[in-house]
Amino acid sequence: MTLHREGYVIMLISLLILSAIQVGNFFLFLWLGWLWLFLLLTLGVLVMAYLIIQFFRIPHRTFSVEENDILCPADGKIVVIEEVEETEYFKDRRIQISIFMSPMNVHANYNPIGGIIKYVKYHPGLFLVAWHPKSSTDNERTTIVTEHSNGKEVLFRQVAGAVARRICYYVQPNQKVRVGEEFGFIKFGSRIDVYLPLETEINVKIGDVVKSKLTKLGRFKD
């Protein structure tokens, strides 16, 4: 397991603050003989340090993929599978699959398919809770479209939540990408929406707990 570069500054600042709190805890409570308060606050400091560090963890994952597979781009839980009108790029009917990421999930995002990046657009917006029906269209978000070698396109959208207020993405139009490569990161709770062709074979259901690169959302039909 490694730690994501997006978290270096946040982790450093957080650990300095927590260290200062622990020093104050030592002089204020331990020296006064209030051992139980010292131990309680120490436990709180350790828990906060663990939560901050684990948020930026990047586990090593070995995966295999076939030509028409569509991989899950993020860790989380499937909260939406429905046919919708995609109005930004396709302007037609697509299957939307939404993955909600809690603060306990890995928040790096990975390309669900390989191919050529056809479209990238960042949208400033609101910070509604990530499961709100309008979060996909009203929240801060980034939309990316990749064209597979078979000519089919997949749109995936990073959506900020009530806590997540920084979306990071690392791809540009006309860039060639491989399936399972990292394309972005969202800080502190969010969701990913994936829009697939209607004829796609779907391999997940609502409520499934999924893993980036390991779970196959679906498969293009030949």
Residues annotated as catalytic are: 190
What does residue 21 show for φ and ψ, rounded to 5 degrees?
-60, -40
Q: How far apart are CA 98 and CA 81, in angstroms?
A: 7
Q: How far apart are CA 56 and CA 46, in angstroms?
A: 16
Label residues 62-96 b or e (16+ Cβ within 10 Å = b): eeebeebbbbbbbbbbbbbbeeeebebbeeeebbb
Tokens 């957080």 sit on residue: 14
Q: Name residue 196's amino acid.
A: L
Half-sphere exposure of 140 (CA within 13 A, CB side): 17
Q: Residue 138, SS3?
A: helix
Structure tokens at 1: 């397991």
